[in-house]
Amino acid sequence: TALATVVEERDEDTGGHIMRCEDYVERLLKEMREKSHYSNLTNDYCENIVLAAAMHDIGKIKIPDYILNKPGRLTEEEFEVMKKHSEYGAEIIQKTMSDIEEEEYCKIAFNIAKYHHERYDGTGYPTGLEREDIPLEARVMALADVYDALISPRVYKKAFSEEKAKAIILEGSGNQFDPVLVPLFLKCV
Catalytic annotation, residues: 60
Are residues 29 and 46 in contact, defined by beta-carbon separation less than 8 angstroms?
yes
State whether residue 184 is helix, strand or coil.
helix
The set of residues, in sequence order, having a beta carbon less than 8 Å from that of 20 and lying 6+ positions away, is 144, 148, 152
Question: 141 vs 20, 34, 145, 148, CA distance in Å?
Answer: 11, 18, 6, 11
> From the centroid of its chain, how far is CA 6?
17
Q: What radius of gyration, in Å, describes the C-alpha atoms of the chain?
A: 16
Query: Concatenated DSSP letters for 66-84?
Result: HHHT-SSPPPHHHHHHHHT
Are residues 143 and 182 in contact, defined by beta-carbon separation less than 8 angstroms?
yes
C-alpha–C-alpha distance, residues 21 and 123, integer Å: 23
